[in-house]
Amino acid sequence: MQKKLPSKIADLIVLPVISAPMFLVSSPQMVIESCKAGIIGSFPLLNARSADILEDWMKNITEELNKARAEDPNRRVAPWAVNLVVHRTNLRFEADMQLVKKYKPPIVITSLGNPERIVKIVHAYGGLVFSDVSNLVHAKKAAHTGVDGLILVSSGAGGHGGTINPIAFIGAVREFWDGITILAGAITHGQDILAAEVLGADLVSMGTRFIAASESFASDAYKKMLIESNLEDLIYTDAFSGVNANYLIPSIRSAGIDPEQLHKKENVDFSKMVDTKVRTWRDIWSAGQGVGGVKKVQTVAEAVRELYDEYKQALKWVAGK
């Protein structure tokens, strides 16, 4: 199967993995350590509470990764990525885009809207645009905007997960899409990465596995709950953000809410998701169906080494060795 990854990604990674951008979880240090470990690190721009803070983060990421490359030119330091909400209610869109133009992240991941305008801006400085999609309608629309990659958010994904089986999803998308394909949803172990590649994915996006990373913004209580939970502790609902997502039931109960009495939330304003008064994501915690595979808190580097060993072992098993 022909690989679609350009050399500016393929030559700089040790595993075809994106550490997914997770709201209120992915930190700039997590991005730096992911890239230094050889996987693509990413974070949502809205994780920074202001444009000034965001600029500090983007400057720090750029400087630290440049330093790592300079100290060891032979080291595989992966490119970094940011996640931009392109929905019309993101009131920080214009300010954040100015910083994207200034710091030129190699990859911009778009979600919740039409990425066409972003494609032109990012391509102008030589970057790539990947678009989150959770169904075929959105996948086809994004494909026609000139994006470089489609992130297929399948059933079982943490956060705003889709409902389509990943095997069916990637097969259907490959009928009309010949660009970079990234699979997301319940990918937790090295053998999962290999399985996704066999299906036709060029990269995978892993979120839940990295919530428990030492460098993440997740609280100790969140990490503890994650480690103690399994897929039966999840609920898929649109009650908290207006869009269906997977949440940890114990966190809902801890917030004093009955999981059996949930109703759809209307009129979501994504620009207000950074307000400290908003409890969703801060107190109601998300995880994907791969949650049962998260057994301990570890550094990003430790997690990547573990994934690498599992991946290599899976390759040996496939080869019959």
Please indicate whether residue 257 or residue 134 has the higher confidence score (pLDDT): 134
Q: Is the pLDDT of residue 179 over 90?
A: yes
Per-residue pLDDT of 75-104, as tens digits, reads 999 999 999 998 777 888 999 999 999 999
**256 part of a folded domain:** no
Amino acid identity for residue 280 in this structure? T
DSSP lists the bridge partners of residue 247 as 235, 286
| Boundaries of domain holding 54 | 7-217+290-318
Spatial distance between the Cα atoms of 112 and 131, rounded to a whole number of angstroms: 9
The domain that holds 33 is classified in CATH as: 3.20.20.70
Q: How many CB atoms lie within 10 A of CB 87?
A: 16
Residue for token pair 């969140």 = 222
For residues 115 and 129, the answer to whether their CB atoms sit within 8 Å is: yes
User: Considering the domain boundaries, does residue 191 fall inside one?
Assistant: yes
pLDDT at 273 over 70: no
Q: Is residue 105 part of a domain?
A: yes
Tens of pLDDT, residue by residue over 187-231, are: 999 999 999 999 999 999 999 999 999 999 999 999 999 999 999
Query: Which range (127-141, 206-220, 237-251) has the least confidence?
Result: 237-251
Phi/psi of residue 2, nearest 5 degrees:
-70, 130
Bridge partners of 132? 151
Is residue 204 assigned to a domain? yes
| pLDDT class of 276 with cuts at 50, 70, 90 | very low
Asked if residue 164 belongs to a domain, the reply is yes
Mean pLDDT score of the chain: 92
Residue 263: inside a domain: no
Q: How many CB atoms lie within 10 A of CB 248?
A: 22
Nearest to 244 by CA among 306, 272, 295, 286: 286
Residue type, 316: K
Q: Is the pLDDT of residue 304 over 50?
A: yes
Rounded-to-integer distance, Cα 295 and Cα 251, Å: 18
How far is residue 120 from each of residues 33, 101, 113, 218, measured CA to CA in Å? 29, 11, 15, 34
Residue 171, C-beta contacts closer than 8 angstroms, at least 6 positions apart: 199, 200
Task: Establish if 36 belongs to a structural domain.
Answer: yes
> What pLDDT does 277 receive?
38
Q: Are strands 234-237 and 203-206 parallel, antiparallel or unpaired?
A: unpaired
Which pLDDT score is estimated for 271? Answer: 43
Would 261 be classed as within a structural domain?
no
Q: Domain tally for the chain?
A: 1
What's the rounded Cα separation, in Å, for the pair 212 and 227?
A: 8
pLDDT (tens digit per residue) in 20-37:
999 999 999 999 999 999
